[in-house]
Structure 1
Amino acid sequence: MKDKVPPHNDEAERAALGAVLINFKPEVLDTVQRHVRSEDFYKTAHQIIFAAISELFNKGEAVDILTLTNELSHRGDLEKAGGPGYVTGLTSAVPTSANVEYYAKIVKEMSIRRTLIDISGKITVNAHSETRECGEIVEEAEKYIFEINDRQQSSGSFKDAREVIQQTITAIEKRYQTKDNYTGIPGGFSALDDMTSGFQNQEMIIIGARPSVGKTAFALSLASNISIAQGIPCGFFTLEMSAMSLMQRIIAAEARINSQRLRSGLLRPSDFNALTDAAGRIYEAPLYIDDTPNIRLLELRSSARRMKSKHDVKVLIVDYIGLISTEDKSIPRHEQMAEVSRSLKSLARELDIPIIALSQVGRQSEGKEPGLADLRESGAIEQDADMVMFLHRDRGISDEGEGPPEMIETQLIVAKQRNGPVGTVKLAFIPHFTKFETLTYQNP
């Protein structure tokens, strides 16, 4: 088995190169580059030749046998590429460039097979190492596979406008026939849903606020509105508290029982009927909670994929983005957060669902309305997000149910919406139940 030659197709590699060199046309090279890179070729000579062709084209120079031979000679790679005779002979490997995409796909497939074999070897070595933790090995294996999957999906393909317009018109007709008010997942707050048309698939939504202003309470209100009230499958990643602590807050909000009484156990006899009714509604709700502490980015992505595959979740909520760990702790914090932000945005597109992530804002926003520049740790969050909202209210009262007011008017500032208007929505925060509700009046 050790001496078995790795998967490759020498004829397809020569045919792909030959098709590019016969009466060179940029579109033919573009077709090959959409599927393969120089390292996808198995034979070293073919890797060198393809890299030289790409370099000539990038420099705006003519690409033919003569210029290619000169380029290889200038690089000192002509002999490594098989010599002048081998390079010239490539054009006789194929009579036409018509089937170049077919050849390129074969080269790509063989490259992926070799990569899978290489990964299998690494996994085997890691599995035999007693110094490596099992969870770490599994996570690394997932990372390898995801990288291959991402590479396959990023082939640079494009769509004809005729195809896109047909899909768009079909979607518009479907919305017209169903008379849906919103094109996305409604959050359960009418003023917000009117402004956003719901949370849209493939979008990353950021909700920012200073500590104790109500980020988690708002996120749980969204989760309850989506999963309990509407029956829409929702995934919730809680990185700060356990699933049981989270559930106590949901029960208090749903049963409208003072959250402090619920935590202390000092319940009234009348509370138990409300508690039982709320528990029944929550039991039937398609709400899925992951409370893995200090969750790593790859673990979150893996768990999200399982939620989507097993329960077809339609929206994910992450509380909160600053607690997600990356693999490389040595890079600066802002680079780590940029990686998390990009990954969540990519995950939203991959799963075709909205992802709502909570984020803290900087101390400089204390006492004033927060803005996009106040998002902590990385400007990439502002850049990657399709929508950014901020919670803002009087900091005199926390979101833990303390204080006398029965309702606190809170501003939800939509500071960025890539495909819609920005503005401010007023919500009602109920401190005793630690939940948000629609404010009955929305005066300017």
Structure 2
Amino acid sequence: MKLSSPIYKLKRRAKLLARDNNIRLHEALNQIATKEGFKDWSHLASNYSETTPAEKIIRQMSSGDMVLIGARPGHGKTLLGLELIALAERINRTGYIFTLHYNETDVWDRFEKLGFNPRESDGRVFVDTSDNICAAHIIERLKKTLDQALIVVDYLQLLDQKRSNPPLDEQVRALKTFATERGAIVVMISQIDRAFELSSIGLPGIDDIRLPNPVDLSLFDKKCFLHDGKVQIEMAA
């Protein structure tokens, strides 16, 4: 049985129903489940398994983590980053997407294609498309907030495009320090070198990250690689 909306959206709908009708959350969840054709919420949950890469990754995230998502163009790395933002509320975090690649309209459109409307998220999702995005810009933007942040940066290599910015390795270290000190989670989307497509390897790996300048990739606690619908998640040793 196909759900009318992703399960996280059904849960959000139940929260609104509970608030608007002054009923308990479990009662609202059961009402939503009944409308979806299930006996109750536990029946729905037992028949619907959330196994998307975003679900797998977000369950393994911890405060202070730096996460790398790598893929060739068109293989879903940006979509995965946006899915993580859409799920940020589940782990009681505010989502921030910093992108030098897309304009704001593009980002909202991509969110809507996921079945998620950030404008209905009670101000828990923010989009920044400033041309000045770099580690210092991100840290300055967030240093006064008390929120537990889930930050997605799109994408790693573009932080290095302005000569006025510090070296890329220095920026990654600054974001790692910020994440550790503030309990934030920083996810960085990364390009994969085009030479990967000439190899016979099924999935890219850490050696396939395109680095115009050196970066200590051991700073990343978790790494996720995508290609042709396959996903591999690597944890720090």
TM class by shorter chain equals 0.5 to 0.7
Structure 2 residue aligned with 1:317, among 120, 128, 152? 152
Q: Secondary structure at the match of 1:237?
A: strand
Q: Secondary structure at the match of 1:366?
A: helix
Structure 2 residue aligned with 1:373, among 203, 207, 223? 207
> Residue 299 and residue 280 in structure 1: after superposition, are their counterparts in 2 closer, same or farther (change >3 A)?
closer
Give unmatched runs, 5+ long, in structure 2: 1-49
Q: Secondary structure at the match of 1:284?
A: coil
Structure 2 residue aligned with 1:386, among 217, 221, 224? 221
Count residues with an aligned counterpart. 184
Compute the displacement of 1:252 (Å). 2.4
Compute the displacement of 1:376 (Å). 1.4
CA distance in 2, matches of 1:294, 1:212: 25
Contact 1:240 1:293 in 2 (8 A): no
Give unmatched runs, 5+ long, in structure 1: 1-187, 255-277, 394-409, 420-444
Question: Paired residue for 1:349?
Answer: 180
Contact 1:233 1:314 in 2 (8 A): yes
Question: Paired residue for 1:432?
Answer: none
Question: Paired residue for 2:74?
Answer: 212
> Residue 392 and residue 355 in structure 1: after superposition, are their counterparts in 2 closer, same or farther (change >3 A)?
same
Question: Paired residue for 2:97?
Answer: 236
One-letter amino acid of the counterpart of residue 218, structure 1: L
> Residue 352 and residue 279 in structure 1: after superposition, are their counterparts in 2 closer, same or farther (change >3 A)?
closer
Q: Secondary structure at the match of 1:207?
A: strand
Name the one with the larger strand percent: 2
Q: Secondary structure at the match of 1:324?
A: helix
> Residue 284 and residue 330 in structure 1: after superposition, are their counterparts in 2 closer, same or farther (change >3 A)?
closer
Compute the displacement of 1:349 (Å). 0.9
> Residue 191 and residue 280 in structure 1: after superposition, are their counterparts in 2 closer, same or farther (change >3 A)?
closer
One-letter amino acid of the counterpart of residue 151, structure 2: L
Q: Secondary structure at the match of 2:223?
A: strand
Compute the displacement of 1:280 (Å). 8.3
One-letter amino acid of the counterpart of residue 137, structure 2: E
Matches within 5 A, 1:122-133: none
Question: Paired residue for 2:45?
Answer: none
Question: Paired residue for 1:418?
Answer: 236
Contact 2:111 2:117 in 1 (8 A): no
Matches within 5 A, 1:65-84: none
Contact 2:100 2:155 in 1 (8 A): yes
CA distance in 2, matches of 1:384, 1:241: 26
CA distance in 2, matches of 1:247, 1:194: 24
One-letter amino acid of the counterpart of residue 158, structure 2: L
Q: Secondary structure at the match of 2:75?
A: coil
Q: Among the aligned pairs, what percent are the same residue?
A: 23
Contact 1:382 1:388 in 2 (8 A): no
CA distance in 1, matches of 2:126, 2:109: 15
Contact 1:232 1:313 in 2 (8 A): yes
Matches within 5 A, 1:264-343: 279=117, 282-284=120-122, 286-306=124-144, 308-309=145-146, 312-325=147-160, 329=163, 336-343=167-174
CA distance in 2, matches of 1:322, 1:233: 24
> Residue 322 and residue 189 in structure 1: after superposition, are their counterparts in 2 closer, same or farther (change >3 A)?
farther
One-letter amino acid of the counterpart of residue 353, structure 1: A
CA distance in 2, matches of 1:292, 1:284: 23
Q: Secondary structure at the match of 1:350?
A: helix
Aligned structure 1 segments of 4 or more residues deviating by more than 4 angstroms = 188-197, 278-281
Contact 1:237 1:319 in 2 (8 A): yes
Name the one with the larger helix percent: 1
Question: Paired residue for 2:28?
Answer: none
One-letter amino acid of the counterpart of residue 232, structure 2: I
Contact 1:295 1:325 in 2 (8 A): no
Q: Secondary structure at the match of 1:218?
A: helix
RMSD: 3.0
CA distance in 1, matches of 2:118, 2:173: 38
CA distance in 2, matches of 1:298, 1:281: 26
CA distance in 2, matches of 1:326, 1:316: 20
Question: Paired residue for 1:245?
Answer: 106
Compute the displacement of 1:379 (Å). 5.2
CA distance in 2, matches of 1:191, 1:220: 12
Contact 2:53 2:231 in 1 (8 A): no
Compute the displacement of 1:201 (Å). 0.8
CA distance in 1, matches of 2:133, 2:56: 34
Question: Paired residue for 2:60?
Answer: 198
